[in-house]
Amino acid sequence: MSFSSLVQDLTLRDSGAPRRRGDASVSTINDAASRTSHISRAMSYASTAATSVSISGDISSQLHAGYSHPLARSWQAERQLTKSMLIYPLFVSDQDDEEVLIPSLPGQYRRGVNKLIPYLEPLVQKGLRSVILFGVPLRPGTKDALGTSADDPQGPVIRSIQLLRQRFPHLYIVADVCLCEYTSHGHCGILRDDGSLNNQLSVDRISDVAVSYARAGAHCVAPSDMNDGRIRAIKLKLIEEGIVHNVTLMSYAAKFSGCLYGPFRDAAGSTPSFGDRRCYQLPPGGRGLARRAIIRDISEGADIIMVKPASQYLDVISDAKELGKDLPIAAYQVSGEFAMIHAAAKAGVFDLKAMAFESTEGILRAGATIIISYFTPEFMDWLSN
C-alpha cells in the first residue's frame, strides 16, 4: 500500500455513515476499533517509511472532527450571543413628536418621548431586554457651560426613564451619564478658564445627574465622561441617597479617543466647539492606561466594566475580562464601527448580517458578556433564542 493510498484509506474509508464525497472535513470513521487499527497501521507504516511525514500516530492533528457539524461548531465558543446580552442605544430628543433619521447612522433615528413607546413595542415583543438612553436637547438656549439641562425633570431622559419603566416593566433601563450633550462647549464636564476640565466640579455635577436618573427609575447609570474619580463619587452619593442597592453602576472604564464617535456626535449634537477629548479619553495605544483605569474603576465600586470602541480594542476587552474576572464586561460597538460595517456592506465587500455576527462573535470571544449595539433590533429578528 502506497503512502497516499494509506492516507486515503485512513480518511475516506467507508464506515457505513452517510458521507458527502469530496469534502475532506467529513471523514467519518465511526467504529472505534477500526479507527484504532487504522491509526496503528498508519503509525507502523510511518515509522518505517523513508519519508516519515507527520501522519505518524498524529491523533492530535485531527481537528476537523470537532466542528464538522453546525451544533459542534457552536460548542467551540465560550459564549453564544443571546438577546439578553444586547443593549440598544436610543437617542431621545426634546422634540416630543419628532422622529428624524440620523444620516450618518444607517437606520437609526432621533426620537421624541412620544415616539419611543410605539417604536419599542414590537422590539420588546421580540425579546429586547435593555436600552441605553442618550438625551439630545435641540431647543435653542437649552445648553450652558454647566450642562444644567442634563437632569431637568422635564428633559427627555428623565421623562423617558419614567415612561419606559411604566410601560415596559421588564425592560432594563440604562442611562448614559455625561454633560457633553448639554454643555454649550460640548465637552464632557465643567471647564476651567483655560479650557481644561475642572475635575472636581465635573465629578460633583456628574454624580448629581447620575443620582437624578437613578431616582427617576434608571436600573443602571453609565458615566461616559472619563473624569477621574466619578465612579467613587456616584457610588457614595447613591449610598447617601439610600438607593445604592438597586442601581447598577456601569463604568465606561476604558473609553478611547479617536474618530469612531463621529456619527454619534452628529446624532447627539455633542461635537466639542473647540479642541478635542484627548486629555480625558484614552490614547488609542494606551493598553496599560486602560488596565489602570479598569483596576481603578473596579476599586471605586463599578458593577460593570465597559470597553469602547469594541472591535479595535479586543485586547482591552480581554484585559478587562482578566482584571474584572468577577464582573460582567460590556463592550460598546460604537457608531463609527456600525457605520463602517454598513458602508462596506453597501459597497459589496461583505454581507451585512454575516459581518454583524462575525464582529459580535469576535467581541464575545475577547471576553465581553454584554454588547451595546446598534444592530440590536436586527438581532431580535436574527436570533431565534
Ligand X SMILES: NCc1[nH]cc(CCC(=O)O)c1CC(=O)O
Site residues (vs ligand X, CB under 6 A): 176, 178, 180, 188, 224-225, 261, 264-265, 270, 334-335
CA distances from 384 to 77, 81, 126 (A): 17, 11, 10
If one asks whether residue 151 binds Zn ion (CB under 5 A), the answer comes out as no
Query: What is the smallest separation between the CB atom of 271 and ligand X, expressed in angstroms?
Result: 8
Q: How many residues bind Zn ion (CB under 5 A)?
A: 5
Active-site option among 143, 235, 237, 255:
255
| Side-chain-facing half-sphere of 144: CA atoms under 13 Å | 8
Strand partners, 223: 177
254 binds, options ligand X, Zn ion, none, Cβ within 5 to 8 A by partner type: none
Residue 346 annotated in active site: no
Query: What is the smallest separation between the CB atom of 329 and ligand X, expressed in angstroms?
Result: 17
Query: What is the smallest separation between the CB atom of 176 and Zn ion, expressed in angstroms?
Result: 4
Q: Does 188 appear as a known binding residue? A: yes
Query: What is the smallest separation between the CB atom of 85 and Zn ion, expressed in angstroms?
Result: 21
**Residue (of 178, 185, 169) closest to 203 by Cα position:** 178
Q: Does 335 appear as a known binding residue? A: yes
How many CB atoms are located within 10 Å of the residue 76 CB?
9
Query: What is the smallest separation between the CB atom of 290 and ligand X, expressed in angstroms?
Result: 15
Q: Does 180 appear as a known binding residue? A: yes
Of 120, 132, 161, 178, the one binding Zn ion by CB under 5 A: 178
**Considering beta carbons, is residue 46 or 363 the nearer one to ligand X?**
363
The CA distance from 166 to 171, in Å, is 10
**Considering beta carbons, is residue 45 or 264 the nearer one to Zn ion?**
264
**Considering beta carbons, is residue 55 or 282 the nearer one to ligand X?**
282
For residues 219 and 172, the answer to whether their CB atoms sit within 8 Å is: yes
334 binds, options Zn ion, ligand X, none, Cβ within 5 to 8 A by partner type: ligand X
**Residue (of 298, 290, 361) closest to 319 by Cα position:** 290
Query: What is the smallest separation between the CB atom of 367 and ligand X, expressed in angstroms?
Result: 20
For 3, the grid coordinates are 503512502
* Cα three-residue angle 197-200-202, rounded to 5 degrees: 55
**Residue (of 342, 323, 325, 324) closest to 333 by Cα position:** 342
From the centroid of its chain, how far is CA 181? 22
Residue 83 annotated in active site: no
In sequence order, the 6+-apart residues with CB closer than 8 A to the CB of 94 are: 112, 135, 136, 137, 138, 139, 142, 155, 156
Q: Does 215 appear as a known binding residue? A: no
Which residues in 182-201 contact Zn ion (CB under 5 A)? 188
Site string for Zn ion, 212-251 (x = CB under 5 A): ------------x---------------------------
**Considering beta carbons, is residue 94 or 176 the nearer one to ligand X?**
176
**Considering beta carbons, is residue 28 or 108 the nearer one to ligand X?**
108
**Considering beta carbons, is residue 225 or 300 the nearer one to ligand X?**
225
Q: Does 374 appear as a known binding residue? A: yes
Can you say whether residue 180 is alpha, beta or left, with left for phi > 0 and alpha for psi between -120 and 50 degrees? alpha
Of 94, 176, 300, 337, the one binding Zn ion by CB under 5 A: 176
For residues 10 and 38, the answer to whether their CB atoms sit within 8 Å is: yes
Q: Which residue is nearest to ligand X (CB)?
A: 264
CA distances from 320 to 166, 270, 292, 323 (A): 34, 28, 10, 5
In sequence order, the 6+-apart residues with CB closer than 8 A to the CB of 1 are: 9, 45
If one asks whether residue 180 binds Zn ion (CB under 5 A), the answer comes out as yes
Q: What is the 3 state secondary structure string of 25-36?
A: HHCCCCCHHHHH
Provide the annotated binding site.
Answer: 178, 180, 188, 265, 277, 335, 374
Residues contributing to the site for Zn ion (CB under 5 A)? 176, 178, 180, 188, 224
Catalytic positions, written as ranges = 255, 308
Provide the annotated binding site for 5-aminolevulinate.
Answer: 265, 277, 335, 374
